[in-house]
Chains A and B, each alone.
Chain A
Amino acid sequence: EAAVTQSPRNKVAVTGGKVTLSCNQTNNHNNMYWYRQDTGHGLRLIHYSYGAGSTEKGDIPDGYKASRPSQENFSLILELATPSQTSVYFCASGDVWGAYEQYFGPGTRLTVL
């Protein structure tokens, strides 16, 4: 079965600090995605990637950067964390053709104080 892992699972950061969330997938999927999930907003797309070396802005990219150094790894970077970025972050991977199903990691709960 598809496997997506995320680290850390929980993170407490200070305002203005730098935070890096990591994601690894063993599905050999080309596409990877970063979402945040907040009550009342559902899953919102932050950044996505179509393959190693590529990153694209999603619907809410402000305050976030992304990095895709390899097929397996996709990172989300908060250079200057703010309390409004307190949320649960999910990484997902998906295939390019056929079924458009996305496979999600277990999530990272980030609290910015």
Chain B
Amino acid sequence: QQKVQQSPESLIVPEGAMTSLNCTFSDSASQYFAWYRQHSGKAPKALMSIFSNGEKEEGRFTIHLNKASLHFSLHIRDSQPSDSALYLCAVRRSAGNKLTFGIGTRVLVRP
């Protein structure tokens, strides 16, 4: 069964700094890799996703995928207090339209 692990468990970053989050997965046949953001007491919401090796940038957010290393990451440039949230990585399972989520990284951006 697909295993998805995130690191670190939590981090505190100063406003304006770069935030870097990591996710590893176990199934090399996985095809869809995504980051979801969940503000306190709210629903998870998709942030961005990637299908193939490489990098994808959307505004302050960059996702990087290395399938050979079974690793993808999210980088947030110029972090803002509104970026404080639980970040969940998700990987689509090779069979069926199901996602496996990591436990999450809790991010606190200090003004």
Contacts and interface: CB of A to CB of B under 8 A. Distances in A.
Given A104-B44, A106-B43, A107-B43, A42 B34 contact: no
Contacts of B42: 106-107
Interface of B is mostly: loop
A41 B46 CA distance: 19
A43 interface: yes
B101 A42 contact: yes
Contacts of A94: 97
Contact of A105 (B43, B49, B102): B43
B43 A100 contact: no
A90 B104 CA distance: 16
Contacts of B46: 101-103
Contacts of A100: 32, 34, 49, 92, 97, 99
Taking residues whose C-beta sits less than 8 angstroms from the other chain, chain A's interface range is 20 to 34
B60 interface: no
Contact of B99 (A96, A102, A106): A102
B45 interface: yes
A24 interface: no
Contacts of A107: 42-43
Contacts of A41: 103
Interface in B63-105: 88, 92, 97-99, 101-104
Closest 8 CB pairs of A and B: A104-B43, A42-B103, A43-B101, A101-B46, A100-B32, A100-B92, A104-B44, A42-B101
